[in-house]
Structure 1
């Protein structure tokens, strides 16, 4: 068994509204080739397991990983699939190495959102008798959660707009981002309404892209790189399926997932013990709510932290210095992208979006409507 697991390589495509030049297999090949070249590893000699993250409905075919099995090195070799979010692929791959079953695992997440319509895809996530017939999707469910959360803590649209302004400003330093810019309050508030209170600026855009990562056991990682990023803690939890069975102003699953990850990593106070957070802000309000779930602040205080600059790239605890999901990261990919961006920070390879002296980070991914399933991963470079 391996005592520790490390991230030894990361590769990402540029996220684009439409990659008409590449199908999903070509997107996968783009990042797999890069991460193998960067690490000097080969699938035949070094990789003993591949885990991909994709989704049948997004890809338009049953067993969606069948389209990338060859480029991921799965021919007559071990290859597994996770669905819905890449953070769970990182979780699952880490467990496989810790168990002693594998030594070096290739992780992959890919989606071409331009191929279909997100509202149709996400509507299928709801139970078929009642909720699906109402036409609910992740955006309309997110609007319900946003309204409930804002009402519970007397928050305004200006409070959520500041998240958009911060993250899209951060994305100006990220060459992979699809949406970026220095926006003012009026720009965000006057944008077209998607589902009240969420405008197009409050909702992550549809994009195409892929992320690849290689994780390895401690002994192998030290042979590959002088700057491994250690996976120090893991946690995951599901909340109730029916929206009506949950308090949407709370995030129970994230609190439990974070508690598990923090205990494993030995984190007592996330504000003092962490240097950067990369979380999945599929909608603007989620950054505020997820900060509560991650134990960074008390209920309703996330907006104040954002307004004060506490979570800015130059602040006490930078949140989404990459620009986050609001800057454009595909469904299924966004969780692995969060892990990748956190790892790049700890490797000192984040370029212009680098947080100085970052030693410990948290990456958070979620799946399902209103953050139904949560995954938290603690990373460190020491």
Structure 2
């Protein structure tokens, strides 16, 4: 991206929980906002402060039409530019980047929240992501769509239930070092394989847990970033891509959308070979099989070699999801924001017990829609 540059100056996360019944989402966002202000001291002055806010939320999970209407006052958005990115948080970062790169803004506040515990069933909500004429009436949702994809990908890649169990066990081991993860209990492979079947071949512990959470970050132009931090995280590439809306038109074992997003994001960041240039990866793994599958799409694993990638310790080699990832519990709407936040903390050297040395370049990936219909990729550099 020639010309202007964009940096993350501060990130804040709310600890994820299976049911934050005692706190409304406005309270969660206020905690995150106050954390950000304590870190870097920004204000909402109409000339020199934050004049634009990009929020991320979902009408269904919030049980209100125009969900951002319920948080504008908490986010300081009165009489300011405020835009909502519905349903996937990493795109909120991309939206904020565009505002700064275009020269319209120098500071943008990005805030996202989701309380998955509020609805009776998140599967009932995800059913609305399908076409109203066939898919919804058929009863499709993100879970059974993922099960169909899991079967297709497992047949293609040689992935077995043993591999899935190892992925989950490693995710929990990483999450034990992440104070913001929902599920930090270390578990054994036997417990994973004995967990109840949700939708064959996906078991309960193969799927991410119901989670409530909130994330925020302050983005700034290169000229303003030095006012807030001496450890800026530069956002050097962002892209997204969508596959067919109709579920039956897609190759479920392929990675059409993710490959398209990754190719463009890498090109913008000047990355020719991610295996050589990227030090750390955060992927949005709602289900265990998605870790190796998404890593194929990102170029870290050869197509159809997911099982071998796991056997060869590829997850450790490329430092995948040291935060525990989505399998350890963060909400679907803002998991991409958690991915970017954890990557940024590593690049700033502020990841605590999760920190690994010499991280200069990281990739954050997110997805939305059934079985990876829509993908986004963000490149972050120290």
Partner of 2:65, secondary structure, is: coil
Contact kept in structure 2, 1:178 and 1:207, CA below 8 Å = yes
How many residue pairs match? The answer is 378
- What is residue 97 of structure 1 aligned with on the other side? 100
Deviation at 1:123, TM superposition (A): 0.7
- What is residue 72 of structure 2 aligned with on the other side? 69
Alpha-carbon spacing, 1:332–1:2, altered in 2? closer, same or farther (3 Å):
farther
- What is residue 156 of structure 1 aligned with on the other side? 160
The reply on whether 1:127 has 2:131 as its aligned counterpart is: yes
**Larger displacement relative to structure 2 (343-352 or 124-133):** 124-133
Q: Distance in 2 between matches of 1:87 and 1:159?
A: 28
- What is residue 26 of structure 2 aligned with on the other side? 25
Contact kept in structure 2, 1:160 and 1:303, CA below 8 Å = no
Contact kept in structure 1, 2:292 and 2:301, CA below 8 Å = no
The reply on whether 1:219 has 2:223 as its aligned counterpart is: yes
Residue correspondence of structure 1 range 351-370 to structure 2 within 5 A: 351-370=352-371
For residues 333-358 of structure 1, the C-alpha deviation after alignment (integer angstroms, 9 at most, x for no partner) is: 10111010100000000000112111
- What is residue 294 of structure 1 aligned with on the other side? 298
1:277 to 270, 281, 291: 281
Q: Distance in 2 between matches of 1:155 and 1:26?
A: 42
Deviation at 1:303, TM superposition (A): 2.8
**Larger displacement relative to structure 2 (194-203 or 294-303):** 294-303
Partner of 1:128, secondary structure, is: coil
Residue correspondence of structure 1 range 1-382 to structure 2 within 5 A: 3-44=4-45, 45-116=48-119, 117-312=121-316, 316-381=317-382
Deviation at 1:136, TM superposition (A): 1.1
Contact kept in structure 2, 1:2 and 1:218, CA below 8 Å = no
Partner of 1:378, secondary structure, is: strand
For residues 168-222 of structure 1, the C-alpha deviation after alignment (integer angstroms, 9 at most, x for no partner) is: 1100100111112332221111101110000111110111110000100000002
Q: TM-score w.r.t. structure 2 length? A: 0.97
Q: Distance in 1 between matches of 2:51 and 2:351?
A: 28
Root mean square deviation, CA, Å: 1.1
Structure 2 gaps of 5+ residues are: none
Deviation at 1:364, TM superposition (A): 0.3
For residues 262-317 of structure 1, the C-alpha deviation after alignment (integer angstroms, 9 at most, x for no partner) is: 001011111110100001001111111100000111112233222332322xxx31
Partner of 2:227, secondary structure, is: helix
Partner of 2:332, secondary structure, is: coil
Contact kept in structure 1, 2:274 and 2:300, CA below 8 Å = yes
Q: Distance in 2 between matches of 1:225 and 1:359?
A: 17
Contact kept in structure 1, 2:157 and 2:307, CA below 8 Å = no
Q: TM-score w.r.t. structure 1 length? A: 0.97
Deviation at 1:2, TM superposition (A): 5.8
Q: Distance in 2 between matches of 1:166 and 1:100?
A: 43
Partner of 1:115, secondary structure, is: coil
Contact kept in structure 2, 1:367 and 1:373, CA below 8 Å = yes
Alpha-carbon spacing, 1:70–1:367, altered in 2? closer, same or farther (3 Å):
same
Contact kept in structure 2, 1:97 and 1:104, CA below 8 Å = yes
Contact kept in structure 2, 1:171 and 1:180, CA below 8 Å = yes
Partner of 2:91, secondary structure, is: helix
Contact kept in structure 2, 1:2 and 1:217, CA below 8 Å = no
Partner of 2:155, secondary structure, is: helix
Partner of 2:291, secondary structure, is: helix
For residues 127-163 of structure 1, the C-alpha deviation after alignment (integer angstroms, 9 at most, x for no partner) is: 1121111211101100000001111223211122221
Partner of 2:365, secondary structure, is: strand
Partner of 2:295, secondary structure, is: helix
Q: Which segments of structure 1 move beyond 6 Å, counting only runs of 4 or more?
A: none
